[in-house]
Structure formats: structure tokens, C-alpha cells
Chains A and B, each alone.
Chain A
Amino acid sequence: MKKEYVTWLVRDEQLMEEQELELTIRDLTPGREKYTGLNVKAILSSSPDKLPDGDILWIRSGTGVLHPQPWAIKITGDLGEFLSRSPFNYADLLAK
């Protein structure tokens, strides 16, 4: 059984095929832990045939609109629980 994930784009140009990307996905396995977040390195493809050992990735726009066709995703690395940057520009906020 292929696993299913979902991702939300911030910009459409994030979607690039057949090269390793870094992205945040959420696990759609049914049950209590559905929507657990993962930061991964992965290769994506719009045609599942090109990634036969890949899983399913549903794609949503920035405002959450679902693309009708899922892509394929092959996870190649784990980037850890959090992303290493600050949520705010602290220097800018302090200056205000």
C-alpha cells in the first residue's frame, strides 16, 4: 500500500519535478495521528509512472485549494522535527 501525504505550497514555483527538494508534508494515514508533520527531502513527479516506488502526494495551493491530481513523492531524507530559522525577524521587531 502506498502511503499518502499532503503539502501546502507557499509559491507555485516550489513545485519542481525530478530533483531533490525540501518540503513539509503531513501524513494522511487514517487514525489518531493523521496530519502529523514531517520535514523531508524528496523527489516529486507529476506522473506516478516515473516514480514507481514513490508514495502519493496531494498538493494544495497556498489558500488550501486541492489540485485535482496527486503527484508521486519519494522521500529521500529526514530534515528533523523543526526548520532552523526564526518565526520572526527579531532584529526588525526590536528596532520598532
Chain B
Amino acid sequence: MAFKDNRQFIEALERTGDIVRIKQEVDWELEAAAIARRSNEMQGPACLFEKIKDYPEGFGIFSGGIASYRRLAIALGLSPDIPVRDMFAEYERREQHPIKPVVVKDGPCKENVMLGDDVDVFQFPAPLIHDGDGGRYLGTWDIVINQDPDSDWTNWGTYRFMLHTRRALVGQPLPLSHLAMLLTEKYVPANKPMPVAVVTGADQLSTLVGGAGYRIGESEADFAGALAQEPIELIKCETSDLLVPAHAEIVIEGEVIPRVTQMEGPFGEYTGYRSRPGGDGVICQVKAITYRNSPMITMVSLGTPIDEAGVSGGITMAMAYKRRLKKLGLPITDVSLPLEGACHVVVVGVTKGGNEIAQQVRDALTSRRVPITKIIVVDQDIDVFNFGEVLHAVGTRCHSVRGVMIKEHPGRGNPLTPCYSTEERAHGLGATALLDCTYPLDWPENDLPVKSSFNTIYPESIRQKVTENWQRYGFK
């Protein structure tokens, strides 16, 4: 059974030794995020900050929930030690069976209700995450919910939102996000404000699907249900008809006002850099706040790998790319995005290699927006989830002339990628390098180099003998 909320998940993390409860008071201004960041960089445990400066006992911050594949496995109800390949396979299997959410009448997110003049977003310990960020982010590891007024499509997206005034948040759903799309196509022409809910502290799987790229018309809540293998419980907002996760910690109900804005950012982003100035953000005018007793904000202390944003992109982008490649009938085994690559490096395993296939893989992966910069294609003997093996292939099997193919992708580049100049970003210029690590198809089989690894260069009989006698030789 999946965890209904972060509280149950935290208990599970305690049982496996994957969380630290910090009882000592910490400052919402930089200190909490610095602690979480350091733990991320040490690949340490998740952090629960129980006492935050300036705020009442019990108003906490939870960070790093699924900042490792180990903790993602726990969130999925799998063994913490499951091989990444097996977890990906299970995730892929579950994702194929969306489960519609159910609507409940009562839920813990209604334990406290702030309405009217009482509304004040500064009553919650929104952290200043990096020194020099443009504001305090209440929404980082969040879900922002909006509705298509003409259908039953409810969109969930993970978009950052910072505090502006007591009754306003400002965020930056990008122009191509589904939130911006619904706003532009449905609410702006009707000259109407768009109801929205910014949810922090929803269960980890719901938040994970908020960051995943599903199609127009697909409700992310159904996929959260798929991952949880049971329906997500939703509850109606106080001031709109939007449905929000009933077990969430804090729900900010509001409206997006289409024709006003406010400076948003800059912010240290998932690339591991703060690489561009702030800009005109989307205003959420807050109408109500509902929250649990002793609420905790979920914070991702974003930066250099590895954090939960990287894990989120690592698995959700791999799933989306795999779907796309399979649909085109390309001979692929698996897709991975090594977490150290901050969602910029993709590794694709193929059952049949060669330059032509590699280029078809590249073309498929770059047919829409191109958030990546390097595409590595490897033969099937390489484990795409083992970055050591992948690097071995890049070094030894990728010909630096024939095997490296550079291509520009005008208009589809990622403006957040640090290597692009201001000029390139302004025009959406982007490029990829394809590193083809497969052997050319026209090389005679007998001329192929023989890989000298335990599994490939010894006869079965020797391998069996060695593994069977391993302890007897004196190994542990």
C-alpha cells in the first residue's frame, strides 16, 4: 500500500534510517536549505526540520523526500535496495494503468482554514533557499492545480512559487506549461481570473507526477493513482471547485490574474546553477489557505546533483523518452538519465546499433523541446543504469570523428542550460552532441573487439566455479 501522506512516508524513512529529524531551531533564511543541500551532496538522508526560527512549534519543513533512487523505491512501496533497472520496469508497468482519483468529504488538509482578511502566506516558514534568490519559495516540491473549464481535464504541474505579499504568490510556470496553455487559451479570452491551487506537502508520488510531462488532456492525478496503485483522495477547495489532495499539508487557494505581474526569481535551478535573471511572473492572488495541524512545507533545496528534482527528472524523462522511442519502433532496450547529468545527458541502449539507428534515436529525442545536450547510444551489453560502464563505452567505443554528431535545434533549446549565451537563450537556440558508442554494423562479427569482463571473457564453467567458491577463496 502506498503512503497517503508525508507523515506515513517519514515513519517508513525512520524505520530504514533514511531521515534525520532536526529538533534544534534552524533559520528559514538559508540555514534549512544549506543543511538539506549538504545532505543531498553527501547523498545523505532526508531532513525534517521541526523548529523554524520566527515560527510556532510544529510549523516544519521536509526536504529530500525522494532525493535518491533508494528513497523513491521506498515511496513506491518497493525494497529500498531494489536494482534501479527493476524499479524503472515496475514504474513503467504501473504507469500503464492510470487510476482515477476519488473525491472525499473530509480530509486532514482542512484541519485549519484561513479565509478573508486572515489570509497571510507569511504565516508559513517559506525558506530562502539560496543566497541571492529573488524571494522565499513556498512552492518548490509542490503541485499547482488548474482546470480546463470545458472538459474534465485537471492539470497538475510542479512550478515554483515565491512569497510576494500577504495575499499574493508569484511563480513562473513557463509559457509552454499546461498551466500557461489553459490560462492563455481558456481564461484570457474570456477575461476571467483562473482558479488555481498551490499545494505543498502532498504525498511524494503525487508531487512526482506534477513534474512529469504528460500530454494535453491527461490528468496527472490518474498517474499518481497508477504509481500508488490506488486512487488518490481529493477534496474540494473552499473558494473554488478545484480538487486538491486531501492529505496535503498546505493548500493555497487562489486565482491567477492574467494581466498583472511581478518580478519573480532569480532562483538556483535544477541545472545546478542560477543562470538567468528574474522576470515577469504569474500572480496567484490568494483567497484561502487550508492546512494540517503542525503543517510542513516540502522544500527541494535545488542545486548540483543529486536532489529530488534530479530524481524526478531522471525517472520521468526516461519514461517519456522510452515511450516515444518505442512508439517509433526503434530497437531500444532501456533509457536512463544519469543523475549526475542534471537531466542533460540521456543514455539509450539499443539491440541493433550503427550510425543510422543512433541518429534516428537522436532525431526522436529532439523532435520537441530539447532540454538535453548529450545523447549517448550504447549497444545492449552496456548497462545504461551503470554510469561507470557507460563512461567506459564513451571512452573506448565512441569514435571522435565518426561517432560524434553535432546538431543544432533552433527554437527548441532550453533557456536554462548554462552553456547557452544570452543571445542563444533569447532565440531558443540549442544543440545536442550525439555520442554513438555502438559498433558500425558493417564490421565483420569476427573482427569485433572482445570485451574483457568477468561475464564476457570466461567460459560459463569457470564463472560458475568462481562464483560458487567465492566465500571459500576468502572473500566476504
Binding site for B on A (CB under 8 A): 8-10, 24, 26, 31-37, 39, 60-66, 81-88, 90, 93-94
B258 close to A90 (CB less than 8 A): yes
> Chain A residues near B283 (CB, 8 Å)?
82, 87
State whether A8 touches B266 (Cβ < 8 A).
yes
Q: Are A88 and B185 touching (Cβ within 8 A)?
A: no
C-alpha gap A9/B122 in the complex (Å): 24
B405 at the interface (CB under 8 A from A): no
Chain B residues with Cβ below 8 Å from A88 are: 175, 180, 183-184
CA distance A39 to B282 in the complex (A): 16
* Contacting residues of chain B (37-57) with chain A, CB-CB under 8 angstroms: 54-55
Give bound CA distance, A8 to B181, whole Å: 28
Smallest CB separation, A86 vs chain B (Å): 5
A84 CB contact (under 8 Å) in B135, B168, B184, B259 = B259
User: Which residues of B sit under 8 angstroms from A26, Cβ to Cβ?
Assistant: 134-135
Question: Does chain A have a CB within 8 A of B130?
Answer: yes
Q: Is the CB of B135 within 8 A of A10?
A: no
- B425 touches A (CB below 8 Å): no
10 contacts between A and B (CB under 8 A): A31-B54, A32-B55, A34-B136, A35-B128, A63-B274, A63-B276, A64-B133, A82-B261, A90-B184, A93-B180
- Of all chain B residues, the one with the shortest Cβ separation from A92 is B175
The answer to whether A82 and B260 have CB atoms under 8 Å apart is yes
For the complex, what is the distance from the CA of A31 to the CA of B54, rounded to whole Å? 6
Query: Are B163's CB and A94's CB within 8 A?
Result: no
Q: Is the interface of B mostly helix, strand, loop or mixed?
A: loop
CB-based contact A94/B277 at 8 Å: no
Given A31-B54, A82-B257, A93-B180, 12 more contacts at CB 8 Å?
A8-B265, A10-B277, A32-B54, A35-B135, A37-B135, A64-B132, A64-B133, A83-B261, A85-B260, A88-B180, A88-B183, A94-B185
Interface residues of B, count at CB 8 A: 45
Asked if B275 is at the interface (CB within 8 A of a chain A CB), the reply is yes
Interface: B217 (CB within 8 A): no
Task: Determine which of B54, B259, B263, B266 lies in contact with A24 in the assembled complex, contact meaning CB atoms within 8 Å.
Answer: B263
Q: Which of A8, A34, A39, A93 contacts B134 (CB 8 A)?
A: A8
Cross-chain contact B280 with A87 (CB below 8 angstroms) = yes
B113-135 CB contact bits vs A (8 Å, 1 = yes)?
Answer: 00000000011000010111111
Q: Are A85 and B261 in contact (CB under 8 A)?
A: yes
Output the least CB separation between A94 and chain B (Å): 6
A64 contacts which chain B residues (CB < 8 A)?
130-134, 266, 274
Whether the Cβ atoms of A63 and B277 lie closer than 8 Å is: yes
Asked if residues A8 and B281 are in contact (CB atoms below 8 Å), the reply is no
Report the minimal beta-carbon distance from B51 to chain A, rounded to whole angstroms: 15
Partner of B262, one of A37, A62, A63: A37
Q: Is the CB of B277 within 8 A of A37?
A: no
Q: Write the chain B residue with the least CB distance to A84.
A: B260
B278 A8 Cβ-Cβ under 8 A: yes
Per-residue CB contact flags for chain B residues 82-126 toward chain A (1 = under 8 Å, else 0) read 000000000000000000000000000000000000000011000
**Which A residue sits closest to B187, measured CB to CB?**
A90
A residues in contact with B79, CB < 8 Å: none
Chain A residues with CB under 8 Å of B135's CB are 26, 35, 37
Q: For residue B180, which residues in chain A have a CB less than 8 angstroms away from its CB? A: 88, 93
Distance (whole angstroms) from the CB of B25 to the closest CB of chain A: 14
Q: B164 interface residue, CB < 8 Å from A?
A: yes
Residues of A within 8 A of B280 (CB): 83, 85-87
- Kindly provide the distance from the CB of A42 to the nearest chain B CB, expressed in whole angstroms: 15
Complex: A65 Cα to B134 Cα, angstroms: 11
Are A94 and B184 in contact, with the CB atoms below 8 A? yes
Q: Known: A36-B165, A66-B132. Is A87-B274 also a contact (CB below 8 A)?
A: no
Give complex CA distance A64, B135 in Å.
11
Q: Contact: A87 with B282, CB < 8 Å?
A: yes
CA distance A15 to B133 in the complex (A): 19
Q: Does B148 make an interface contact (CB < 8 A)?
A: no
- Alpha-carbon gap, A20 to B244, bound state (A): 45
Contacts of B166 in A (CB 8 A): 33, 36
Q: How far is the CA of A66 from the CA of B133 in the complex (A)?
A: 11
Contact A32 B266 (CB under 8 A): no
In angstroms, how far is the closest chain A Cβ from the Cβ of B394? 31
Q: Known: A36-B122, A83-B260, A90-B258. Is A9-B277 also a contact (CB below 8 A)?
A: yes
Contact A82 B277 (CB under 8 A): no
Q: Is B29 an interface residue (CB 8 A)?
A: yes
User: Per-residue CB proximity of B249-263 to A under 8 Å, as 1/0?
Assistant: 000000001111111
Most chain-B CB neighbours within 10 Å: which of A60, A83, A88, A94? A88
Closest to A89 in B: B175
Which chain A residues lie closer than 8 Å to B265 at the CB level?
A: 8
By a CB distance below 8 angstroms, the chain A residues around B29 are 34
Q: Taking A63-B275, A65-B132 as contacts, is the C-beta distance between A36 and B163 under 8 angstroms?
A: yes
Q: Write out the residue numbers on chain A whose beta carbons fall within 8 Å of the beta carbon of B410.
A: none
8 smallest A-B Cβ distances: which pairs? A64-B132, A62-B277, A82-B260, A87-B261, A24-B263, A37-B164, A93-B184, A87-B280
Using Cβ atoms and an 8 Å threshold, which residues of chain B touch A84? 259-260
Does the CB pair B54–A87 fall under 8 Å?
Answer: no
Say if the beta carbon of B279 comes within 8 Å of chain A: yes
B168 adjacent to A62 (CB under 8 Å): no
Q: Looking across the interface, which residue of chain A has its beta carbon closest to that of B126?
A: A35
